[in-house]
A and B are shown apart, each in its own frame.
Chain A
């Protein structure tokens, strides 16, 4: 992914989108204080964010979802469209399942709590840029439910293509939903602890892909576009 950027010895170019001034300034100062991060811009609304995405070279977009003139989801989508190599991360106070999953389906690969401190932030960004994604047990459970729902009503195929997870990915989702730590899971599955978040990233990418094709399918169904 974007890992090569830092290999070149260049800091990650980060765009921060957050409408709440104190939070924005706080996070900006945390990024600026980090030698591996370069803040290329801060935006307090969607319009500015979209403009910045089109004009600025980026490695990472960190955005709030609730913006005064729209949703951060739009910014994530735009980023995935214009700069497919760049990554996106949402900031959320509670990092609740719905918020995070919506962002992931739009193309985000990680999330950050708004009260994150420097360590949290650096770890989150480093992990993300290294191709690892975080997942909470709650999110894992929502995903597990979704997948098993789909299996149960298999007689009635859901509209559009659905993500097909590998058995390993499914095991990991189940394990996290049951409350196992990455370490416990890695032990159980005979993989390295660092591989678990890589699998999570793959799951997220599949979710995004299926969400996108579902959107296409839905649009085609509604007659908006012709396949």
Chain B
């Protein structure tokens, strides 16, 4: 559950955890119970065990070994003398007693206060309080007869000193209220249930984390066994009680599994097997040998104590090596269970003095620590998420900045490329047209007898070509009609000047796609040349230019004139040149004689090739 940490715990943390653990271990020794503010203390009794002989004993009193194993009953007779009969209600407080206690005073039943024995099995030790019935006391010697009944198990009976007093004693006696009130025990069960539900939720959402699985197993199993064990089962199920002790090793091996999972160690197979195997073996042995025996109970307890110590050592070692105070914290319930277990064996057998068995009290503490562990894990995960988010955000913004820079670079490069291409094209176009014309103008002017008309014609051609180039700059895809219209505008003026009639119609021209400025320029230049040739070679008086639809969506530009022999024999250098240029556009040109003159047909594909013509 907790990933390996590299930071080792500081000495303060270690000492704090150690101190906490030791304090909890020693708690039962340091503090027995507070002495109630009593009017009368009874510390002597006449004790007799199951119809045995009477014996004068001092309180607190532990049953002798002769009490043996299993259900048995003991009787205490306690006498005290009163000089006066009290007016106020009288109470008897028993700060510690093991097993079921009932009694009479002067033959009248003592009324138990604050305890309904449903949630509390008194065999582990409890505080009791009785109210003396009105009129039961008398002046002189009064006799209390107490019955202490053990219903199961080997835990010896225990009776502490008795305190007799009025309302004042009861009001101030918080001890008895705490240890005698079954509601507190019930609250512990409720808390346990809450933790189990929380773990079920966690585990069902995150099964790949073995620590959650072990935590859930331990908590749930413990709940299932501990609750009936610590409460008074209905008589029909009471026979189960002696077997509960055999479940202890299961919990202890679960503790080992949990400690290994939490510290990131692989849980060996034998641990898993022992969880079920060990209790099963003990129960089988008990069944085979005719029921639970103290020796078997002791063996079971001993095995689980050893296993708990082991779990404690595993977590402590991991804590000391890898850090993580919550791992160190988890060691505490392991050690406490083991330690209290040892002590309880002592108490139960009368070796150690004490009224309460403390193993049962570790359970709420364990649940608390589990809660802390879970919350700690939650905050750790949230921190991890925050950190991951932060890292992601940082990386994202870095990446975005990188991309933006890259994009900007690319954009600049593209823009530069486009500019460069456009510059190249313009240079190329101007070189092809304008500069050629200008050079020929110079050449013409330098002749001795400069032909003004020729010069003018060359200059006008130069200007025309410049207009073609500039006009084609703004031509986009499917703009062929526009390019042609601009061309027509110029051509009209040019032809009118020469007295040539122009008839123009592009209404039937199909759409041509993939048009670039370069394409447009090539097309217009071809048309211009066709017109120029018509004017130059066949002195035309009428020129008709029209758009037509060809096969496969091809666009035909037809130039007809009434002049003759427009291109000589049709195999001239000029026409070859035009053919090549048409082919580069994916089209072709054709020159055919008509009855009135020549027809020049320029065929363009429906989609122009991508490469600039």
Contacts and interface: CB of A to CB of B under 8 A. Distances in A.
Contacts of A53: none
Nearest to A188: B507
B463 interface: yes
Contacts of A71: none
Instruction: Please classify how large the interface on chain A is, using the bins under 10, 10 to 19, 20 to 34, 35 or more.
Output: 20 to 34
B499 to A, nearest CB: 10
Contacts of A116: 493
Given A94-B466, A115-B460, A137 B507 contact: no
Given A94-B470, A115-B460, A136-B489, A141 B496 contact: no
Interface in B459-509: 460, 463, 466-467, 470-471, 474, 481-482, 484-486, 488-489, 493, 496-497, 504-507
Between A117, A138, A176, A180, the greatest number of chain B beta carbons within 10 A of the residue's beta carbon is seen for: A138
Contacts of A177: 482
Contacts of A120: 493, 496-497
Interface in A90-128: 93-94, 96-97, 113, 115-117, 119-120
B486 A137 contact: yes
A137 B505 CA distance: 15
A164 interface: no
Interface in A134-183: 136-138, 141, 176-181
A116 B506 CA distance: 26
A184 interface: yes
Contact of A137 (B467, B470, B485, B496): B485
A137 B466 contact: no
Which secondary structure dominates chain B's binding surface?
helix
B466 A184 contact: no
B132 to A, nearest CB: 94
B474 A138 contact: yes
Nearest to A181: B504
B599 to A, nearest CB: 21
Nearest to B456: A115
A119 B485 contact: no
A30 to B, nearest CB: 13
A28 B488 CA distance: 28
A115 B482 contact: no
A197 B484 CA distance: 20
B507 A138 contact: no
Nearest to B509: A179
B503 to A, nearest CB: 10
Nearest to B473: A96
Contact of A138 (B460, B482, B493): B482
B488 A181 contact: yes
B593 to A, nearest CB: 28
Given A94-B467, A115-B460, A179 B493 contact: no
Contacts of A97: 474
Interface string A55-95: 00000000000000000000000000000000000000110
Contacts of B507: 180, 184
B482 A184 contact: no
Interface in A173-224: 176-181, 184
Contacts of B485: 137, 176, 178-181
Contacts of A115: 460, 463
Contact of B470 (A96, A141, A176, A178): A96
Contacts of A180: 485, 507
Contacts of B486: 136-138
Contacts of B488: 179, 181
Contacts of B506: 179
B310 to A, nearest CB: 77
26 contacts: A93-B463, A94-B470, A97-B474, A115-B460, A115-B463, A116-B493, A117-B497, A119-B497, A120-B493, A120-B497, A136-B486, A136-B489, A137-B485, A137-B486, A138-B474, A138-B482, A138-B486, A141-B482, A176-B485, A177-B482, A178-B481, A179-B481, A180-B507, A181-B504, A181-B505, A184-B507
Given A93-B463, A138-B482, A177-B482, 13 more contacts: A97-B474, A116-B493, A120-B496, A136-B486, A137-B486, A137-B489, A138-B471, A179-B481, A179-B484, A180-B507, A181-B488, A181-B504, A181-B505
Interface of B: 460, 463, 466-467, 470-471, 474, 481-482, 484-486, 488-489, 493, 496-497, 504-507
- Nearest 9 A-B pairs (CB), nearest first? A179-B481, A179-B485, A137-B485, A137-B482, A137-B486, A179-B482, A117-B497, A178-B481, A136-B489
